[in-house]
Structure 1
């Protein structure tokens, strides 16, 4: 007997759900050629995130999943089997799903994640859904779960079909952690784009294969953002603008210029990010230290996040900042009843050390080294001295090297 849970489709598209081999899958990538298969990701709870490559025409009972099952309503033995009570229950279910997909304050992601959720972690999700385009800066304190908050936003956007292409930019040391946490906590499989992945892909599909066209969820390290071998293919996939795309930038403060001038010189990372960020529809920035003390540098970071609201060189207005930024400290959440361990710094006083004590000897050696270094730098040309960190070398401005600290007992 044919299944009524789905309908046969010639070729499913990216983002559609299909039923085959007794499981429900989401299509992540189309075939690259006639002998290549669709890339699928399982969304069943007992195998969430598992990948598969299938030849659609060769599958015995592959069907496009009709989530609402409207196609079976007019068939004999369809939903409810003519039973009014069963049909009423089904109709209420459809209405609930429709409401959660349209109402901004009804969330689905917290119920589809394997996490212990704290109530304060729902605020970024609420703010993200209230924005027409999710341009949000999550600047919570260290240890408050910014990765979980970003995962909730991503999962909710996927469930609401507002995102079908995601790139996570993270420091090189954090890429594996991002992949593991998104897989284990949200059932989302991400591919790390690095030299090993590029080599394996080219071995399978040829040197001209574009790694960004072989899936829909990727992780790239910060240091590779300026490498054309990796970024050129991403620009080709994004083109000038790609709808339903999301950029997640971890440690976003690295993109802010370090100087405090009105138009501070941007780093290569900042320029590379500026070239890419405008091509994404949605942007999610994460940083525990978003402000480096220079207002124009902070304005530049916000301009990368949302160029419609912010412009570098202009003061950031609190009214413009409030809708796009979430900033909570542990002390703020303790006042609301959240339990976080409080750090207590207790000084240790060391008295009555002898002159030959190792602590005093080490401090004296460090002071001598610093004195000799500054004396040598003072003889260098001005630009060399400034590069080595001595403001007095050759500057003729009357400043003098900072005196080295004397070893304290």
Structure 2
């Protein structure tokens, strides 16, 4: 990569380039990217890029001319508070910051430093081919979205698509909109026809809409895949990437899609330079699921050479691993500790509770077990019928173990196992399948079709469902009451819809003054999220949910405990459930998890001892989870069949404990699982990111915070700005709650109108922490409230001086003088906005971007000179006194004269900042020559926003 600080060339024939100042229509404008020789894209010098407009040069009645930024005037007097507001308004209004990261002014979060590692890795690759395999809850979505936002703001890409399982589409749209100020379009089976309506024949959804979130199930078919590859954006993010590499027809289609994305396809994309140059970011918490073939297929998507790691040895293997290390990042939670960023994740406390079936409940359960065992033992020679009958017995066992309500539903649905029913459908509804099936598999599966044998069981189930005394339910309700008393807000996960409503009804009757909500797959994605948010408004709350919420909706903002009411037969689901609560952003220091199971339930016993405990042991030893290697559920089926047949033994010989380790089926599962864990352990050294250390990342992060303003800066500015305009913040700490009440009705009319457009009106509740307090909106530097306040004050202060109303509290003034503590000599502080042109050239493509920086330069007595944060900080201390009016006016007049003599020093300062910006880009973008040539040009003179004189205290 070549970088210089020479002058960049405007577009051919253009007189003005990004950052130039022009005068048109009676005011000054800044030229933006996207201008050409005929049309200028501009924004007001005192406005934001959202206020941009277009000027057609040939149509202007008064020709467009060069302009200069208006200098401060003696009439624009400012006190100390106004000077601070001006400084902070300038800093917080910047969206195209000049720091090492172009995007941080555009995002609504403060990412943790460790989350910048994938971004820094991506910036050193061309094309970006990256697999982010961080642990559940660390923040892979944030890490991938940061890459997308940065590449967009650098001009490296114009379009991107996120490919994800269908139940994650809405979550991705919400994250990109709420945290990254992007407006992607959801492309699903339900929305595609509407989006395609009225499109010209040559256009597609993906050329018309620059940013899309696409359902993998919708796009994977051959016809749609070909259309997507034809119009595919320059950047593609693939969530749950491991589901695109494993076997099976559905997964094979996904894999063919990804092969086409990277230019490795038999369907026409091979050799396509667009595909070879395409950026690909893949996300998964389980890169190695025990399937060696799938694992190396995933690696091959990064580069075909990496698939050879499966057979490479010696030096060849080491070289491939070294190459692979720059494309992979995988961190466990303990790996994050070295970043020393405080307590990022809560401490997880795990509890196990058991219940014992007695009386009618025990008799019913034993009757069901006996029925299921007889069906398994008496199956005929028809292989398909054997499988279907066995799955029917498993379905019934699971529903009965869940709740009487689920048992009734399953027993009543008796037509589902006839010949015409697809085997895959029945199997998927019985077993705990892949993550991308979660929203759709909480319906109770059919139990069987033998009417006579089931009639008595139906009668028993209906009687139990309508009466009190359920031992499992009692253990749960007692535990939930205790959790609420201790201050926790729990989520109770169960397997079936009927069970969820059964629990919701009984818990509501048991606990008082606590909001109880039930969310199941009966609700569409948006409705599920809305119900969770509504429940989160309650002071104390309990959520009952099926696994439709164990992926796709983050629950850490409102809940801090998880109860597994029904055991999953797939340990990954337990981690998914707990990961909804125990994840980045959880404010509680402790998260509770509870496992509930039957003490005299042999099915629960097998799952606990053979599957769940083994999963915990492997995770504890390895540090990351390893999925159960159970393709086709063959191991689970063998285990459950053994349990059922053992249940037919005479009462005296029947095993009554959970000592299942001697079962042949259990040993088979353990052997295959340990083998998968050993392979994952060997490969972990490939995935673990050790090249980028905290000391490589933290300086860049600190620079960005200093340049753009952090959480404390946002809170101080918002509080002072609202108070100045008549809408002071009211802290809610008096009521024992976090957050503030912001009365917007008292603000000036034009400010209210701008806020109303953003959906902000009346009195709103806000919080500057994330996650926010209940019922509060999270407010950060790019929130509309902050943006409108900052831009309003800049516009009123930097607008037409002659027409400015000095009595307007929004007019801050641009010159001031006060006596400051800690100042030993007269100091002159110039608050400036620097404009730079950042030009990149890749091949024949030249991109010129405007980058801006809010900073200061201070002269504190020859030869002392302060710059940047040190100069800005001089404005912070409260003044100890004001000089007499005549002294203040004389001092400011002298300062304005001195400024004219120091313009060359300001130009030199701007040049130094351009060189520093160039160094920032060289550092984070260091890579091959293919990344192109960069140049940075300081646009002088700098915009002098304010000029302030600090006088020493005279004893």
Tell me the TM-score range normalised by the shorter chain. 0.5 to 0.7
Q: Deviations over 1:271-291 (max 9, x none)?
A: 222223332611100111111
| Separation in structure 1 between the aligned mates of residue 117 and residue 231 of structure 2, nearest angstrom | 32
Residue number in structure 1 paired with 2:467: none
| Separation in structure 2 between the aligned mates of residue 291 and residue 128 of structure 1, nearest angstrom | 22
Residue number in structure 2 paired with 1:252: 241
Q: 1:123 to 1:115 in 2, by over 3 A?
A: same
Cα RMSD of the aligned pairs, angstroms, is: 4.2
Q: Deviations over 1:220-277 (max 9, x none)?
A: 1010122355333322224xxx7xx111001111012249xxxx99622222222233
Q: 1:354 to 1:229 in 2, by over 3 A?
A: closer
| Separation in structure 1 between the aligned mates of residue 69 and residue 640 of structure 2, nearest angstrom | 86
Residue number in structure 2 paired with 1:298: 295
Residue number in structure 2 paired with 1:230: 224
Residue number in structure 2 paired with 1:18: 41
Aligned partner of 2:122 among 120, 128, 144: 128
Aligned partner of 1:402 among 642, 661, 665: 642
Greater mean deviation of Cα atoms: 330-339 or 209-218: 330-339
| Separation in structure 1 between the aligned mates of residue 130 and residue 201 of structure 2, nearest angstrom | 37
Contact conserved, 1:189 with 1:217, CA < 8 A, in 2?
A: yes
User: What SS does the aligned partner of 2:231 have?
Assistant: helix
Contact conserved, 1:334 with 1:340, CA < 8 A, in 2?
A: no
| Separation in structure 2 between the aligned mates of residue 198 and residue 62 of structure 1, nearest angstrom | 36
Contact conserved, 1:190 with 1:217, CA < 8 A, in 2?
A: yes
Contact conserved, 1:252 with 1:285, CA < 8 A, in 2?
A: yes
Shift of 1:376: 4.8
Number of matched pairs: 328
| Separation in structure 2 between the aligned mates of residue 185 and residue 364 of structure 1, nearest angstrom | 52
Q: 1:163 to 1:6 in 2, by over 3 A?
A: same
Contact conserved, 2:169 with 2:186, CA < 8 A, in 1?
A: yes
Residue number in structure 2 paired with 1:328: 331
Residue number in structure 2 paired with 1:286: 283
Shift of 1:310: 3.4
Q: 1:211 to 1:118 in 2, by over 3 A?
A: same
| Separation in structure 1 between the aligned mates of residue 250 and residue 107 of structure 2, nearest angstrom | 42
Contact conserved, 1:247 with 1:277, CA < 8 A, in 2?
A: no
Q: 1:171 to 1:266 in 2, by over 3 A?
A: closer
| Separation in structure 1 between the aligned mates of residue 640 and residue 222 of structure 2, nearest angstrom | 45
Residue number in structure 2 paired with 1:364: 366
Q: Deviations over 1:90-136 (max 9, x none)?
A: xxxxxxx9985xxxxx3233343110321211111111112232111
| Separation in structure 2 between the aligned mates of residue 151 and residue 390 of structure 1, nearest angstrom | 35
Contact conserved, 1:166 with 1:217, CA < 8 A, in 2?
A: yes
| Separation in structure 2 between the aligned mates of residue 22 and residue 213 of structure 1, nearest angstrom | 33
User: What SS does the aligned partner of 1:152 have?
Assistant: helix
Where in structure 1 are there 5+ consecutive unaligned residues?
25-41, 48-58, 64-71, 82-96, 101-105, 393-398
1:140-219 map, 5 Å:
140-195=134-189, 197-205=191-199, 209-219=203-213
User: What SS does the aligned partner of 2:353 have?
Assistant: coil
Shift of 1:192: 1.7
User: What SS does the aligned partner of 2:642 have?
Assistant: coil
Q: 1:320 to 1:298 in 2, by over 3 A?
A: farther
Aligned partner of 1:267 among 231, 235, 252: 252
Is the radius of gyration larger for structure 1 or structure 2?
2
Q: 1:356 to 1:195 in 2, by over 3 A?
A: closer
Q: 1:384 to 1:214 in 2, by over 3 A?
A: farther
Contact conserved, 2:29 with 2:43, CA < 8 A, in 1?
A: no
Shift of 1:23: 11
User: What SS does the aligned partner of 1:220 have?
Assistant: strand
Contact conserved, 1:114 with 1:185, CA < 8 A, in 2?
A: yes
Residue number in structure 1 paired with 2:36: 9
Shift of 1:182: 0.7
Residue number in structure 2 paired with 1:28: none
Q: 1:379 to 1:169 in 2, by over 3 A?
A: same
User: What SS does the aligned partner of 1:235 have?
Assistant: helix
Contact conserved, 2:113 with 2:339, CA < 8 A, in 1?
A: no
| Separation in structure 2 between the aligned mates of residue 23 and residue 365 of structure 1, nearest angstrom | 78
More helix per residue: 1 or 2? 2
Contact conserved, 1:151 with 1:182, CA < 8 A, in 2?
A: yes
